[in-house]
Amino acid sequence: MQNKVVVITGASSGIGKALAQKYAAEGWDLVLAARRIERLHALEKELKNTNILSVKTDVSLVDDCKNLIDKAIERFGKIDVLINNAGISMRAIFENVELSVLHKTMDVNYWGTVYCTKFALPHLLESKGSLVGVISVGGYVGLPGRTGYSASKFAVRGFLDTVRVENRRSGLHVLVAAPGFTSSEIRKSALVADGRQQGETPRDENKMMSAEECAGHIYRAVKRRRRKIILTVVEGKLTVFMAKMWADLVDGVMYRMFASEPDSPLR
């Protein structure tokens, strides 16, 4: 029997790497995408006895995304699941941030999802497979100091929700997964106002959901063909629910939370 095939972007670290480990453990064939190809090759050695294709990919580049999907089909002949996980964050108030930071954030988080989905969609329709976008609670609630990040995640949610509606009779499954705070490198590589990487995380990573736990939730949600998941009870589900009922209250809580971070850009 032919194994099922999953394509995972941003697979070199964090949630993407944990997803690769989870799908490998379940016997899937993997197509892994990231800019840091050396990390993908190291992951290949870790995930023994699994068919893996690693493709150096910058998802902000349309040609790279087309090449990723072309290589996947050339190697495996089909795609059963596409997980759009690649992403970057930023940390600066809008008044001070350079527009290039917002462009870069949108190029990776939103356009990377659009590009990969565009080229993979015919194959997902053929397999009646799953299209997945990894967003954030910031795709439901505005996060102060992260205008570009929240905007990109709202955009991904709207895009995937619309693709789902357009294909409701085709058998395509679309999942929007919104983790709460999850331990990963995304805060260390977050862009500050002038486009430099932040370098250090402003939050206690040990108190967050692990990338492995997050990957397990996403794997099960794909298997059950759920339309959305919001992870963590307080920072995720409760925040999104309260934002619908008591928006001004949640705005105040969010402001105080992010203003209390070390070296917060908020006044």
Please give the average per-residue pLDDT across 207-235, as a whole number: 91
Chain centroid to Cα 124, Å, comes to: 18
> pTM score > 0.75 for this model?
yes
Domains of the chain, CATH where assigned: 5-259 (3.40.50.720)
Q: How many CA atoms lie within 13 A of 105 on its CB side?
A: 31
149 part of the active site = yes
> In 3D, which of 23, 138, 26, 22 has the Cα closest to residue 88?
138
Please give the average per-residue pLDDT across 234-263, as a whole number: 82
pLDDT of residue 186: 66
Q: How many CA atoms lie within 13 A of 57 on its CB side?
A: 35
Active-site residue, from 23, 115, 140, 149: 149
Look over the chain and give the mean of its residue pLDDT values, rounded to a whole number: 91
pLDDT of residue 233: 72
